A = this chain, B = another copy of it.
Amino acid sequence: MLNSMVEISAWIRSIRDNGRIAFIDIQDGSFAEALQVVAESSELPRDCHNGAAVLVRGTLVKSPARGQNVELKAEQIFLLGNCPQENYPLQKKQHSLDFLRSIPHLRIRTNTFLAVARIRSFLAQAIHRFFEREQYYHIHTPIITSSDTEGTGELFSVHHKKGTSFFGTPSYLTVSGQLAAETHALALGKVYTFGPTFRAENSNTNRHLSEFWMIEAEAAFLDIGGLIELSTSMLYYVLYELYKECIEDIRLLSTLHTPELIEQIEHLLTTSYVRISYTEAIDVLKSAKRNFTFSPQWGMDIQTEHEKFLCEIHYKAPVVIYDYPRAEKAFYMRVNDDQKTVAAMDIILPYFGEIVGGSQREERYDVLLCSMKEQGINPSHYTSYLDLRRFGSVIHAGFGLGFERLVQCATGMRNIRDVIPFPRAPGLIPD
């Protein structure tokens, strides 16, 4: 490419013109760094402003300037699309993320959101590569459904525009594809989903969305140990690939928003995941000689302060906690021999919190029926699910990963609304 004639179409990111020579940074979205165009000022067409689209014909040459390898010596510049500065919401100055959230169709043109979008895309594609390599089949579980997986979620309901019943039964937006994924795991062996899920919770925080994407993996003949192996190797794989391939974008976000980002990702890639049972975790917390707001005792939820202590102070590593008290967990999780715990697992990352949750599923018909009754769940709403335990039932396990949480972890963006193109949340008007 060097010293060859090229034609590049792109948008202007900034322009400095001393009346004799103009330096124009252009970007077409494909790289973290802009390309510097050097042109004679007299060559500049009218209306060459920040945000305008141009076609530059010229020669790629080795750059004398520091911090860039090549620059484009322009012979001709054509204006493709004007960008009237007086109305353009993106000025050259740094805008607040808050302001940018109000213009999702334009914020994607900023360095921050371009970097986040590239990382998000890379992670999504890496997840597909990982599961393809592990010979998992990709399945699409339904979005419109009549069931509420855990019986606890706040649901969005779906109606025909004219208010008539369309499916002949109340229908909702899915909160999880797990139950459907289980049906396929018990035939295809190993499956995963990657699709949107919904929560109508009225929680207006920087950690919740009404619409978010989730990866759910489910495999037959897999126990809780295998599940921990699978989910930790997936995390390791996608973060390692990202670190290898997208370091410029990570660096950019590190500079703009989260100085500690690179170090945190490197820490995750060089530290083994600690595996402890819930009971061990409580013991560690009890002997910690710390003033926790919630005093640790067996049976309680592990709180954020406890997670932070375990990951950041005690182990200084990502921590997998498994075998949780049965009373706190969903009906479908497999009851352990002690009858007190279930084969559930969570992955907690330092400086981040929970990222993966999963469990071995209860494959024994009688035990499952019993857990349903204990939790006040009507088995007649789950006949398909119970069928899986009546006909050729085998042990199986699966996990869920909130995709936006992974993107947050990889980008260091603190507000979840900044890692999805068009966030949906209570009161946020969809465009």
Contacts and interface: CB of A to CB of B under 8 A. Distances in A.
Given A105-B388, A106-B391, A146-B430, 11 more contacts: A11-B187, A29-B188, A52-B392, A108-B183, A114-B188, A117-B139, A144-B198, A158-B173, A160-B200, A168-B427, A180-B421
B167 A11 contact: no
A128 B131 CA distance: 12
A363 interface: yes
Interface of A: 9, 11-12, 28-30, 51-53, 80-84, 87-88, 104-106, 108-109, 113-114, 117-118, 120-121, 124-125, 128, 132, 135, 137-147, 154-161, 166-169, 171-173, 180, 183-184, 186-190, 195-196, 198, 200, 202, 210-211, 213, 220-221, 363, 384-385, 387-388, 390-395, 420-422, 424, 426-431
Number of identical monomers bound together in the oligomeric complex: 2
B196 A140 contact: yes
Contacts of A388: 105
A188 B108 contact: yes
Contacts of A161: 154-157, 172, 200
Contacts of A28: 189, 220-221
Contacts of A167: 210, 424, 426-430
A30 B113 CA distance: 40
A187 B53 contact: no
Contact of A421 (B141, B158, B387): B141
A51 B392 contact: yes
Contact of A394 (B53, B84, B391, B429): B53
A184 B426 CA distance: 24
10 contacts: A81-B394, A87-B391, A105-B385, A109-B187, A142-B211, A142-B422, A143-B198, A143-B211, A167-B429, A195-B196
Contact of A189 (B29, B104, B138): B29
A27 to B, nearest CB: 9
B156 A159 contact: yes
Nearest to A108: B187
B169 A429 contact: yes
Contacts of A392: 11-12, 51-53, 81-83, 109
